Amino acid sequence: MPNRKKPLVVVTRKLPDSIETRMRELFETRLNVEDKPMSQADLVAALKTAEVLVPTVTDRIDAALLSQAGPQLRLIAQFGNGVDNIDVATAIQRGITVTNTPGVLTEDTADMTMALILAVPRRLAEGLEVLEHGEWMGWTPTWMLGKRIHGKRLGIVGMGRIGQALARRAAAFGMQIHYHNRRRLPEKVEQALDATYWESLDQMLARMDIVSVNCPHTPATYHLLSARRLKLLKKEAFVVNTARGEIIDEVALTRMIEAGDLAGAGLDVFESEPAVNPRLIKLAKAGKVVLLPHMGSATIEGRIDMGDKVIVNIKAFMDGHKPPDRVLPSML
């Protein structure tokens, strides 16, 4: 019988109980039962001892941190889809494999994106606030009028799994689907989604009623919706972001909404999370934006599916196989 010692796996945050239990069965696992973010010193200590690190999107694993990793660290199995918090190139250069958990959050994130697309033009948060403050005086023909979304043009920035799932939902609401992507979709997929492709992001933005950001955050997409590009949008347009806060120039977006140069926004992510710009909070209180605390993927089912993928990736790697969700620099 093989007498293989179980690998030491260090998990940086609290995961669903069923996932932690399964990890304890399979690996020598150190858990973060208090769910407090690890300090830089804690992360360094983890990298010096762990064979496998299981970080989340809030843990910054940069080149400086990786330079302090011990030789035993062989795998970083991210609990999350995005890997913009990890210096993947440096990790691979040091012989460390990186994996993530793609695919399992698609439907949940698309649901939340569609919720924001409905919430912002139809003023849902404002209506709730009126009820909470006991200010509702009854129905009237001209009060709390929002914008219809049926027939409106939706511009999707990033037509991967989530973008396509959003397109299917939005089409069911009678929206016209437009998209910009690094690569054009196959004709068969494009026809199934009844989606119009724009090679020029600038040209698409100028014509849309609602713009949804659904691309990953990479060096190439940092401030993809820059101040210049935001100025291309119609004054009546809305912006929705459930991807990463860094993709939009948040200061420029805030300034434009304050000035009435944009109708509003629905944001689930922010540039300096967990800090939120006080000016955005003020706009939310004024009913101009709807803000959520990074809840796009927050379902019980989604989190368990993510954990299952982490376990499969670790198990495959430790058994000498290529993990199914390996991240390569060419993918970024």
Q: Do residues 86 and 61 lie in contact, with contact meaning Cβ atoms separated by under 8 Å?
A: yes
Q: What is the pLDDT of residue 332?
A: 62
Residue of 123, 217, 229, 244 with catalytic role: 244
Instruction: Indicate if the pLDDT at residue 69 is higher than 50.
Output: yes
Question: Across residues 229-256, what is the average pLDDT?
Answer: 98
The overall average pLDDT reported for the chain is: 96
How would DSSP label each residue in 151-193?
T-EEEEE--SHHHHHHHHHHHHTTPEEEEE-SSPPPHHHHHHH
Instruction: Indicate if the pLDDT at residue 3 is higher than 80.
Output: no
Q: Which helix (H) or strand (E) holds 107?
A: helix 106-119
Instruction: Indicate if the pLDDT at residue 1 is higher than 60.
Output: no
Residue 72's CB: how many other CB atoms inside 10 A?
A: 13
274: left (phi over 0), alpha (psi -120 to 50) or beta: alpha
SS3 270: coil
Q: What is the pLDDT of residue 70?
A: 96
Question: Across residues 296-315, what is the average pLDDT?
Answer: 97
162 Cβ neighbours under 8 A, 6+ residues apart: 105, 106, 109, 110, 113, 214, 242, 243
Query: Does the active-site annotation cover 273?
Result: yes
Instruction: Indicate if the pLDDT at residue 48 is higher than 50.
Output: yes
Q: What is the pLDDT of residue 5?
A: 85
Q: Do residues 28 and 316 lie in contact, with contact meaning Cβ atoms separated by under 8 Å?
A: no
Q: What is the pLDDT of residue 4?
A: 62
Query: What is the C-alpha separation between 98 and 207, in angstroms, rounded?
Result: 39
Residue of 28, 190, 258, 273 with catalytic role: 273
% pLDDT > 90, the chain: 95
Question: Across residues 205-230, what is the average pLDDT?
Answer: 96
Residue 192's CB: how many other CB atoms inside 10 A?
A: 14
Query: Does the active-site annotation cover 244?
Result: yes
Note the pLDDT tens digit of each residue in 151-201: 999 999 999 999 999 999 999 999 999 999 999 999 999 999 999 999 999
Q: What is the pLDDT of residue 227?
A: 98
Query: What is the C-alpha separation between 196 and 19, in angstroms, rounded?
Result: 41
Instruction: Indicate if the pLDDT at residue 102 is higher than 90.
Output: yes
Omega before residue 71 within 30° of 0, cis: no
Query: Does the active-site annotation cover 294?
Result: yes
Residue 47: HSE in the Cβ half-sphere, 13 Å Cα cutoff: 23
Q: Do residues 53 and 73 lie in contact, with contact meaning Cβ atoms separated by under 8 Å?
A: yes
Higher pLDDT, 233 or 3: 233
